[in-house]
Amino acid sequence: MCGRYASSAGRTELTEIFEIDEVAGPLPAPAWNIAPTDPVPAIFERVRDGDRRRLLAEVRWGLVPSWSKDASGAARLINARVETVGEKPAFRKAFASRRCLLPADGYYEWYTVPATGGGKPVKQPYFIGPSDGGLFAMAGLYEFWKAPDGSWLTTATVITTSATDEVGHLHDRMPMSVPAENWSAWLDPGFGPDARELLTVEVSGLTFHPVSTAVNKVANDGPELVEPVAL
């Protein structure tokens, strides 16, 4: 799964990289320890007067289906398995026409180090990201939910798949990404074929390293959290 990630690119950088037409409202501040239900930047497209407009906006991580009675289950829907994303009731409609990109520096996984000398096993956090230091355009879905008071909430989830051998020993799942040449089709609400064909699994473009256990506490944040540490 992808349960924590970093996204530090600002408005100007994201606008240039993703060729944004409109920034819809204020964006969340750069963050290196994003947890479920936190605000995150997302890129998606809406059709207005027949024209497709690419938007950059803040959403909340953890999808709330439009038919949900409340938003309490959002933390459980931070990931959608690519194998079933087109069939699961929680994701089916969003997968058909509400696909998005979730920009990330990388994501965290915890590897259990066996106990030695009678001690307890230790969960060591690792940071996984593009080896070139660029952005990881995670494949996502977004949804609109109307609260009982009439306010609207926009939420998103990350699509995951089986992890490659490079990072599979850390965790058996990993986020899927959308290559730049497929961004337009992936974001197109009217794209007809199975959109799963537009996704890719990073095979050789990822690197990973151990990081400080300070990331374990969601209140901690800062670029130092993604820096390598010696084990």
Per domain, the residue ranges of the chain are 5-110+133-203
Q: Are 50 and 34 in contact (CB under 8 A)?
A: no
The predicted pLDDT at position 185 comes to 97
DSSP labels for 129-195?
EETTS--EEEEEEEEEEE-TTS-EEEEEEEEEEEPPHHHHTT-SEEE-B--GGGHHHHH-TT--S-G
Q: Are 64 and 90 in contact (CB under 8 A)?
A: no
Catalytic residue among 45, 100, 109, 202: 109
Catalytic residue among 2, 45, 143, 202: 2
User: Which token pair is 99?
Assistant: 């696909």
Q: Are 92 and 86 in contact (CB under 8 A)?
A: yes
CA-CA distance, 88 to 199, in Å (whole number)?
18
Give me the CATH code for the 5-110+133-203 domain, please: 3.90.1680.10
Q: Find where tokens 């990388």 sit.
A: 106
Is residue 181 annotated as a catalytic residue, yes or no?
A: no
Q: Which is it for strands 79-81 and 152-162: parallel, antiparallel or unpaired?
A: parallel
Digitized pLDDT (tens) for each residue of the chain, 231 residues in all? 689 999 999 999 999 999 999 999 999 999 999 999 999 999 999 988 889 999 999 999 999 999 999 998 888 999 999 999 999 999 999 999 999 999 999 999 998 887 777 778 889 999 999 988 899 999 999 999 999 999 999 999 999 998 875 666 777 899 999 999 999 999 999 998 899 999 988 656 788 999 999 999 999 999 999 999 998
CA-CA distance, 162 to 138, in Å (whole number)?
15
Give the pTM: 0.94
Is residue 100 annotated as a catalytic residue, yes or no?
A: no
CA-CA distance, 144 to 71, in Å (whole number)?
11
Q: Rg of the Cα trace of the chain?
A: 18
The predicted pLDDT at position 167 comes to 67
